[in-house]
Amino acid sequence: MKVVGIFFYEARKLLYPFLMKDMTLLEHLEELRNRVIRIVIILAISFFICYGISAHISHYLILPLKDAIGAQGKIVFTGLLDKVLAELQISFWSSILLSSPLWFREIWLFIKPALYEAEVKIVRPFLVVGFLLFIAGVAFGYFVVFPFGFKTIMEYGVQDVEAMMNIKDYLLLASKILVFLGLLFQMPNILVILGFMGVVTKYSLHSMRRYLYVAFAVFAAIITPPDVLSMMVVWLPMIVLYEIGLIAVALIVHPYLKRKHMGEEKN
């Protein structure tokens, strides 16, 4: 019994930042269980809805590739279950993306009671901005990266060959790229959060700028086809996102921390 008591005591210390006030550990765990069940139900319902329209989702995902290959190639499936597996994968990723406001709301409702009102006011805008940035990243990938990247790849090297794209491999790759770009567009949001945590300042971000630009260039060169234009399509948005984050830290974080520091000195 002593070991069990120690376990619950240590678990409560670990979970304390996320626990709601005036509730026991068992009540917290019950609340967590209910939230997880709701999230699973949300994802399950979203999956079946997305599976019902997976053919339309796949159609729109394939359009940039079709425009790029034109009459020079075909989109095929080589395995008996390739189309089925592709539809299931698309349904899975689409359900996570499309239902994200709902399941993220459940996470927020679990964490929110553990925060003070001032902390809630600070955190809430990050949730909205983060979602909008994610959508912007997905849109950038679909309307800019896909058309430009696919066209560049098709025009690279030998031209008198026919391209045969496997639909399952393409749809999985396209989904991963869109999710990655959605996460990449969180950079300004992450920088502001780190600013509030005191990890970075506008001065440190400014001093790291030149080194990060080089790191961004290396990263862009690795993930894009071997030509300058493709690299620039990824590199320039990363620089813009970083600069937006730096400006946000300077205009939002520093004034807030200054007011907070002055208020503490008065008290």
pTM: 0.74
> Which residues, in sequence order, are CB contacts of 184 under 8 Å at separation 6+?
137, 238, 241
The conformation of residue 71, written as its DSSP 8-state character, comes to G
Helices and strands (H, E) in the chain, number of each type: 12, 2
What pLDDT sits at residue 176?
81
What pLDDT digit, counting tens, does each position of 98-137 carry?
Answer: 888 888 788 777 777 766 676 667 777 877 888 888 889 8
Q: How much is the pLDDT for 11?
A: 45
Distance (Å, rounded) from C-alpha 30 to C-alpha 138? 35
Which residues of the chain carry a pLDDT beneath 50? Answer: 1-20
Domain edges within the chain: 1-163, 186-267
pLDDT digits (tens, 9 = 90+) for 167-193: 888 888 888 888 888 888 989 988 888
Residue 138 tokens, joined: 């997905």
In contact, 147 and 177? CB cutoff 8 Å: no
Q: Helix, strand or coil for residue 74? A: strand
